Each structure stands twice: as C-alpha cells, then as structure tokens.
Structure 1
Amino acid sequence: MKTPMPAVAITTSILLLVGCASDDSAHTDGDIASLPAATVLEKSLAALKAVPSYKVEIHTNSTSGQASTTLAVVGTDLRGSVTRAGATSEVLKVGTNRYIRPDEAFWSTMLDKPKQAHAYTVAAHGRWIKVRADDDLLETGGLEGAFTFAARNALDSAVPQQASLGERKDVGGVPTITVLDSRNDRTQISVATTGEPYPVRWDFGLGAVATFTDFGAPADTIEEPAPTDVVDISTVLGSAK
C-alpha cells in the first residue's frame, strides 16, 4: 500500500532556485526584508544548510489523513519519529547508516502487512532495524522524506517557481517576512528578519506545515546504537514468510 510522503513530498514544485547572490553574513531587518523574494529564499535555505543543529516539526492534515513528524538534526545526523494513521516509527541516521524502529501498527497499517506485523515486531524486539538508504520500505512506509532533513535538502524542491514578498509578522516570537508563491499564494514561508534568515515556518499548502526551532542551540551528539540494539531488516522480514 503506497502512502503519501510526509512534508515536502506534498508539494509539486521541483525547481531549484538559481541565479541569486549568496552572502554568509547575518542580516538585519532592513537588509533581508528589502531584498527580492527569490534572494530571501536562497539566503534562507543557505542559512538552514549551514547551521550546526536545528529541530523541525511537520504536521499534515489532508484528505489522506493526519500525520506528524518530529526531528532533531545535528550536523548530517538525525533522530526523531513519524506518526501517521495511528502508526509510529522512530527514525535514526548516523553518518551513512539509517535505522527505523516501528511499532506493530506501522507494519500492519503503513506496509499493509497485518498478518506478519506481530512476527516482525517480535523479531525486532525493540531494537533499531538497519535499512539501506534505497530500501523501498522507506518510501512505502512514508519514512523517506524524514531522512532528507539530515541532508539539508528537504526544502529545495518546495521552493516556489515564482515568489513575492508578503506581510511582516511574528512567528513564535520571531520577527519574519513572508515569502509567497506568486502563482497561487498556497506556499507561504516565514523567514527570520533578525540574525540569520532561517526559515521559521514553511507552509507547503495542502495542509502541510513545518515549524523550525532551536537553530544552532547546544545539542547532544546523535550516536550509533550499540550492536546488541541493532537488527538487520532482512532478519526481521525473514521472520514471517
């Protein structure tokens, strides 16, 4: 059973922003808010890619149901969880290694394996399940999108093809300038106007919103699980045939 990808996969925009100047310095309100919308977006994406750590929560409320993703990103490592249709899986990325830790409902609902779900859960025994980056299970289970936040490219395909500046407003106590999709106003990005121009809130439209916090805040190192706490996906899937 295929399910929609979380967060960024909801958008149909796949064009990257090109041709804008880059500047790594911090920006004041009069500086960033006076720039063209496309430049504001480029600087915002660059700031997100450069920050050592951040947190993000993505909430989706669409015709396909409700979903939530909560992630902590440190460098290119990541840890968090994805919940949809009453099913939850933890996700973990350390270096090039990817792990998932699903509950029984995940196997039954997200992978459409109700008969095997209990056997899979018993085989995993609460351990992290190691998966390949290209494992079809990640896409089928709606987990692939979460890992793109560690690569810092999760938002690249969500950049509006045509953008314009909207209103100034506070988002979570942070002064921001709104960048709109000029074609339909569906996408709305709130970019910080003080300090670095981080994307504080990204409304993808279609009921999906990402909220970013804790930019550069001290964060615990995300570590590899102990070998005794890891099982390979092939072992889990082989437990019920």
Structure 2
Amino acid sequence: MKTVSRAALAALTMTAVLLAGCGSDDSGDKAPADTATAANGVADLEAAAILDRAKAALKGAKSFHVKGVMSDEGSVTNLDLKVAGTDVAGSIEFGGAKLEMLSVGGHRYMRPNDKFWTMMDSSGQMAKTMASQSGKWIKPADNDTSLGAFFGAADIDELLKPEGTVTKGEAKTVDGAPAIGLVDSGDAKSVLYVATTGEPYPIKMERPAPEGLAFSEFGATFADIKEPAATDVIEMPKQ
C-alpha cells in the first residue's frame, strides 16, 4: 500500500528554496468493534472485493485518523493525520524534521520546524531566513501541485492502492476487532487488516516493528481542521 514517498520529500526541498527567495473535540467511533459485533460478510469475499469494501466504508465514514510509522529506502517517517473528506490536519516527521500540514476548503498550509529548514540547507542560512516567521503557516499558491503527495491521505483510493495484486491473509483479532488480512504482492512486508464485523473499515496496516499504520476515529469531527487566522499565514506568490 502506498504512503508518503521520497519524491514528496524532494518536492518539499523545492518549496523550501522558493521560500528562502521570498525572504480537537473528537466524536465518533474509536474502533469498528465499538459499533457492532455482527459479521459484515467481507471474510467470505475475494481479496480485491474486500479492499473495495474497505475503501467504500472509509469514504462513507467521511472522516478518520491515521497514525503510525513507515519507511522508504531507509528513510523513517512518522505520520499523524486527521482526514475529513478532502480536508486534512496533522504532521509528518522524519529525521527530527517536522512538517505540520493543514488543508481546508481547497487551501493548503504547511508549518515546518527549525530542523526542517536546517535539513533543507545545511549551511543554516535558510533557518536564519525563516526564523522571523517561526510559528506561522506557509500557504503555497493554489496552483502549486508539488505538495500533493503530502496530502495524499485525503485520497482514500491512493492511500489504499496496492503496489501489486492483493490476496487474502490470515484472520485474527486486531485491536480488539475481528479482521481479515490483505497481502500486497508488491509490498510483501505489509498486511492491511479489514474489520469483519460492523463496517468493514481498514483497522491497521502491519509492517515489521516499529513500522505500521493504525486507523481510528471513523466519522469523528476534528476541531483542529479549520482555517488559520490571516495574521498567522505567509502566502507564496503564484508560479
């Protein structure tokens, strides 16, 4: 299954260069097991059909929380995102560099920490340039598509898109909920577990420790998904 890629990190580097030149109350289900115990029938389906049902359930929930650790070619990324439709609030952290992200009403914002700027420019000059803007959200131009991969968790089809062919794995209890595993031939280290009772939500993507992603708070209302104050925003020029 797909996650944030190295290409996305490269896109951030380009954005950082441009910037240098410019001088919740939650409600909803905590887990599928909390809502129903009746079998939902997905355990009897073929793997591809189970994945389709999981996507449909997640879309039907309207919102969810995904959190965990993933790696790509040795680069470890901590992911913590709350998603409501196409809106997102959360963060991505790698190597001590942290990028807070916010997407509301079609507008995207990001708030990097000092370590992020240092990682983008080892001379420290970029960090000095951005020091006066610390704590503010940076708003890329609306026509800037370079950061799309970072907000990919809002796209359920991409988030749960397999790299190869999916097959059914073992059935087991995951975080208190009965579930069936889906194994991706293109990513043999990952197993996506889908609830077999209640709504067929994806519950967890298991990978070798310490990696893995957990899905929760289906249908929740996230108070932190809101437009920042105009005084807390730095707007990037249109490209």
* Fold match by TM threshold 0.5: yes
Identify the residue that residue 226 of structure 2 maps to in structure 1.
Answer: 223
Among residues 54, 57, 72, which one is paired with 1:44 in the alignment? Answer: 54
Identify the residue that residue 57 of structure 1 maps to in structure 2.
Answer: 67
Among residues 151, 154, 158, which one is paired with 2:155 in the alignment? Answer: 151
**Gapped regions of structure 1 (runs ≥ 5):** 1-5, 11-25, 139-143, 236-241
| Aligned counterparts of 1:150 and 1:160: Cα–Cα separation in 2 | 18
1:137 positional shift: 6.2
Identify the residue that residue 13 of structure 1 maps to in structure 2.
Answer: none
After TM superposition, list the pairs within 5 Å mapping 1:192-203 onto structure 2. Answer: 192-203=195-206
Among residues 118, 129, 132, which one is paired with 1:119 in the alignment? Answer: 129
| Aligned counterparts of 2:124 and 2:204: Cα–Cα separation in 1 | 37
Identify the residue that residue 43 of structure 2 maps to in structure 1.
Answer: 33
Could you give the per-residue CA deviations for residues 133-176 of structure 1, whole angstroms, max 9, x where no partner exists? 664763xxxxx4331112333324x3253222111112211211
Identify the residue that residue 9 of structure 1 maps to in structure 2.
Answer: 5
The 3 A distance-change label for structure 1 pair 135 and 78 is same
Q: What is the RMSD computed on CA atoms of the aligned residues? A: 3.0
1:151 maps to amino acid: D
CA contact (8 A) 1:160 1:187 kept: no
**Gapped regions of structure 2 (runs ≥ 5):** 7-35
1:40 maps to amino acid: I
CA contact (8 A) 1:191 1:200 kept: yes
Could you give the per-residue CA deviations for residues 95-151 of structure 1, whole angstroms, max 9, x where no partner exists? 1100001111111214666322221232x231111013664763xxxxx43311123
| Aligned counterparts of 1:160 and 1:38: Cα–Cα separation in 2 | 13
| Aligned counterparts of 1:36 and 1:152: Cα–Cα separation in 2 | 20
Identify the residue that residue 12 of structure 2 maps to in structure 1.
Answer: none
- TM (normalized to structure 1)? 0.74
Among residues 150, 168, 189, which one is paired with 1:186 in the alignment? Answer: 189
1:195 maps to amino acid: G
1:125 maps to amino acid: S
| Aligned counterparts of 2:221 and 2:105: Cα–Cα separation in 1 | 19
Identify the residue that residue 137 of structure 2 maps to in structure 1.
Answer: 128
Q: SS at 2:44's partner residue?
A: coil
CA contact (8 A) 1:7 1:208 kept: no
CA contact (8 A) 1:68 1:82 kept: yes
CA contact (8 A) 2:40 2:200 kept: no
| Aligned counterparts of 2:37 and 2:176: Cα–Cα separation in 1 | 17
Could you give the per-residue CA deviations for residues 167-220 of structure 1, whole angstroms, max 9, x where no partner exists? 111221121100112567433110011111111112478985221111113432
* Count of residue pairs the alignment pairs up: 208
